[in-house]
Structure 1
Amino acid sequence: MNQYDIKISDYLKENKINADHLLVKKNCHSVSDAAAAVNEKVDEFVKNVCMVDDTDRLIVAIVKGEDRASTSRVYKVLNLDHRPKLASEEEVFRRTGFPVGGVPSFGFNALFLVDLKVLEKDYIYTGGGSTQSLIKIETGELLKVNSGKVFRIRKK
């Protein structure tokens, strides 16, 4: 286990979060890589798209693996003055403490927005801290853990 996997594993234990932390041998940088690593369908996975609004707040748009997050929908549902910008890899790491491709759907300071379609699933897989780990968590538990706000934030 690397330092990022240890960090999220400790977070799960300390906060008594009901989730499975899975370490895999394959790289899980993309949703399709992650699905292959645990022999699951892509629609069981979410992406955590990090954005920054004009007040410098980190927003994490959580969408199903096959979907894309919409900055215009996030702008509208949050009633922002300007569309949020996508965070750079450096910003993602600095603000979350996790590398791109391993960012979990909780465990750091951000506003978490969860797309409605995510809640169609009983459980999802999300980043597990590194590109070689995943977290399997029930969607109800996810909302409890990240205090996620539910909106339609996906494109199309």
Structure 2
Amino acid sequence: MLESSNLACWIEENAIQADLIKLSVHTPTVEDAAQAVGTSPSQIVKTLLFLVNGEPVVAITCGTSRIDRRAIAAYFEVGRKRVKLAGAEAVLEVTGYPVGAVPPFGLRQQVQTLIDPRVLEHTEVYAGGGAIDALLRISPTEIVRVTGAVVLDLLGTAQENS
């Protein structure tokens, strides 16, 4: 299993403009993470792993949002039932990180990445930092630069939860 120290090395080796923040508390929810770093819940981003026809795809969205699988299905031109949220075991196998700590890059496998445009509305966001007590502070444009993410409306017909 990869840890936040692996992510820190990857960030340094690839000259990425980001800060890894170690927290004194665990942040199991978006609200907890926002409170821990003193920001809005919309600036906490989720890095979720989906399987599209069995192939891994990362989707990044604001933590207060719910991804609509139909948006991913339409992008890949497959039926909605061909898009599944990966379980904890698959997340660990593909990314190297546990659910809730997955960063947007530095994963065990190179994975196609999609990012919701609402993430790009912020100048700075906080993503998984490779451990349950770490967050990654980074600009959304840097995420796109590093991952080559495709900007795609991931909410589709789903509504914001905030």
Q: What's the TM-score once normalised by structure 2's chain length?
A: 0.90
* 1:84 equivalent in alignment to 2:83: yes
SS at match of 2:3: helix
Name the counterpart of 1:34.
33
Name the counterpart of 1:123.
124
Task: Supply the distance in 1 between the matched residues of 2:67 and 2:111 (Cα, whole angstroms).
Answer: 16
Q: Indicate which of 58, 65, 68 corresponds to 2:66.
A: 68
The alpha-carbon distance between structure 1 residues 3 and 75, as it changes in their structure 2 partners (threshold 3 A), is closer
Q: What's the TM-score once normalised by structure 1's chain length?
A: 0.93
Name the counterpart of 2:42.
43
Asked whether the 8 Å contact 1:107–1:146 carries over to 2, the reply is: no
Which 5+ residue runs of structure 2 have no aligned equivalent?
none
Residue type of the alignment partner of 2:99: V
* 1:57 equivalent in alignment to 2:58: no
Number of positions where the alignment pairs a residue of Structure 1 with one of Structure 2: 154
- The CA deviation string for residues 90-130 of structure 1, in whole angstroms up to 9 with x for no partner, is 11011100011100011122111000111111111100001
Which 5+ residue runs of structure 1 have no aligned equivalent?
none
* 1:134 equivalent in alignment to 2:102: no
**Structure 1: which 4+ aligned runs deviate by more than 3 Å?**
none
SS at match of 2:82: coil
Asked whether the 8 Å contact 1:43–1:65 carries over to 2, the reply is: yes
Task: Supply the distance in 2 between the matched residues of 1:83 and 1:45 (Cα, whole angstroms).
Answer: 28
Asked whether the 8 Å contact 2:62–2:118 carries over to 1, the reply is: yes
Asked whether the 8 Å contact 2:2–2:97 carries over to 1, the reply is: no
RMSD: 1.4
